[in-house]
Amino acid sequence: MPGPRVRAPELPLAGRPRPGRAGDRGVDVRVLIVSPYPPDRCGIASYTVQVAATLRKQGHQVDVVSPQPSAARYSADYARTTRGVLQVLSLSRRADRTLVEFFPDLLFQMIQRKDQFIRQWLAVALWFRLGRRVELVVHEAPYRDLVGRTDPRGRIARAMWRTLLSLPRTTYVHTDWERRQLVAATGMRPDDITLLEHGESFLVRAGGDRERARRELGLSPTGYHFLSIGFLQPHKGFDRAIRALARLETDGGDVHLHVVGSIRVHSPDVLSHVELLRNLAGATPGAALHEGYVSDELFDRWIVACDALVLPYRDIWSSGVLERAKLYGRPAIVSDVGGLGDQADASTRVIHDDDELSAAMAELAGVPLAAGALGHPAAAAEVLSYEDAMGVVTRRAAALRQRYEPGTAAPERRRSDGTRTLPPPVVLSAPDGRGLRGQVKRAIDKLTRWELMPLVRQVNEIREYLARQEPGREQEHR
């Protein structure tokens, strides 16, 4: 039986007005949100900004605690340490309601030892049990790792996740697909999982009409403009959109596709994918790749400027971009993965393969498909000639030589079996020292740490990626 669906303004507000503390400001409820926060560049941080703004408009006092220093009022290292989790528990006890914008790395980041994970799990369970009106909004969960696990370790993992997700007062997901996945993965009852509209708290961040937005972005005022926007990652499938554009009959050159976004994780697979996007965009008439960080306001300006969005994701849970398209009344083409089918409205076209993607783009743009376009799937990857491939290698080598002086790099450490020994994760420790000098050091550290944390996080993400590749390399050496 499907569980209840609620809208954000209808979420139950815990506690009663406290005249001695919040009532003097006309505030009914003190809300603590546990989430990443800007300048962290992720979709959940942007989502949290809008949730906090919506709650403040309703008259509530809202504070955010982020896992690293940010624009939030509080920060605590609750992603990796039990001490950080207990700090959040203390903040939660002083609030009336606690919202957790949950994904696994929010509370269990880079925890590899079993004893460390168990300690962290116990601390999180204690917080969920004793925190003030804890409500969990599940953005991502390890569905695939848990479904169908009947071995002893799998049973234990399922039980631990089921317990953790059952402790909060309410557990929310955005789509019915996610609820079904969570039920299959953990064994929770469907009635214990509530649906929360993904875009209910979303705010309009860009004004003006389509013509003005195109003028500000330097786009052609005429023609049909498709948009694929977001972080440049393989699972986004933006390469599928470019290939689909190439299958349209656009002799007049009046159909455009703009791929807009930046690299969030500088891992080899992502860098290779971005290079592929550059090559595809350069070889496809009407396609353009706009690389660079996109602010929230600029993100929405692109949506206002376009005629339709193309989101051919290969893998996703639910999409905030689709919700923003609906917010501005723009039609969208989405692939039938994750909960996108549940999010789709009457203006959304749900496609199942590349043929349907090309046909949907042709229909929206009002142009025919190229002769013989359907029934011939696009290649999985672009085939480069030897000369083109060597050109890419030469450009990358030149870029690296500009960054590093010869002989300055430490020799790569390897084990006896030939595999690499990775350096330890980067950790920003608090400066030591006593007296006035120590106080000044700690003050400077507090003011600048938020600027360093994104760099530290990227370095550690690259290390984590390399660590995941090591088991395969070890097998090759055996």
In the chain, the N- to C-terminal Cα span, in Å, equals 51
Rounded Cα gap, residues 80 and 85, in angstroms:
9
Which pair of tokens denotes residue 222?
Answer: 């005429």
Q: How many CA atoms lie within 13 Å of 134's alpha carbon, on the beta-carbon side?
A: 25
Rounded Cα gap, residues 68 and 80, in angstroms:
11
Do residues 117 and 156 touch, judged by C-beta distance below 8 A?
no
Range 210-365 has CATH code 1.10.3720.10: no
Residue 5 confidence (pLDDT): 46
Do residues 101 and 139 touch, judged by C-beta distance below 8 A?
yes
Residue 413 confidence (pLDDT): 46
How far is C-alpha 391 from the chain's CA centre? 33
Domain spans, the chain? 5-196, 210-365
Do residues 201 and 159 touch, judged by C-beta distance below 8 A?
no
| CATH architecture of residue range(s) 5-196 | 3-Layer(aba) Sandwich (3.40)
Helix axes 268-283, 238-246, angle to 10 degrees: 20
How far is C-alpha 50 from the chain's CA centre? 15
Q: Tell me, what DSSP letter sits at residue 70?
A: S
Rounded Cα gap, residues 195 and 324, in angstroms:
19
User: Are the folds of 5-196 and 210-365 the same?
Assistant: yes
* Local confidence pLDDT in tens for the 478 residues of the chain: 445 444 433 343 333 334 333 333 444 689 999 999 999 888 899 999 999 999 999 999 999 999 999 999 999 999 999 999 999 999 999 999 999 999 999 999 877 788 888 999 999 999 999 999 999 999 998 888 888 888 888 899 899 999 999 999 999 999 999 999 999 999 999 999 999 999 889 999 988 799 999 999 999 999 999 999 999 999 999 999 999 999 998 876 799 999 999 998 888 899 999 999 999 999 999 999 999 989 999 999 999 999 999 999 999 999 999 999 999 999 999 999 999 999 999 999 999 999 999 999 999 999 999 876 666 554 444 555 556 666 666 766 666 555 555 555 544 444 444 455 667 777 777 666 667 777 777 777 777 777 777 777 777 777 777 777 655 444 443 4
